[in-house]
Homo-oligomer: A and B are copies of this chain.
């Protein structure tokens, strides 16, 4: 049962759902028991975790930072569905330029990408686990 490859699919927003927090618990437990998280995909409202401008109260968990930390420590890819993100106003510098916007907000460590990355992940990982809103 050790050394399996996992893909996590996060579809719920922080605050409106517990999806990013539950997925974080799952990811930590998976890594601690010898498995690999190949990719975390953010779809639907889940893309809002990648908003780099969120300022939670100081005494509350900052889920965006927690995911950035986990991804950096364990080389986990944080892939954000670009179509879902643009609709919801999560945008990197490159897309902002393309849309003529002066500001951008994609948090460091997250990458805008296509739905194909989720499909590829589901096809190749040993197990895909979704966290809904």
Contact = CB atoms under 8 A, between A and B. Distances in A.
Contacts of A95: 55
B57 A45 contact: no
- The contact size tier of chain A is 20 to 34
Most chain B C-beta atoms within 10 Å of own C-beta, residue among A15, A48, A55, A103 = A55
Contacts of A60: 87
A125 interface: no
B16 A89 contact: no
A122 interface: no
A21 interface: no
A54 interface: yes
A104 B51 CA distance: 11
Interface string A20-36: 00000000000000000
Contacts of A15: 44-45, 87-88
Contacts of A86: 54-56
Interface in A100-126: 101, 103-105
Contacts of A89: 48, 51-55, 105
A15 B133 CA distance: 13
A10 to B, nearest CB: 14
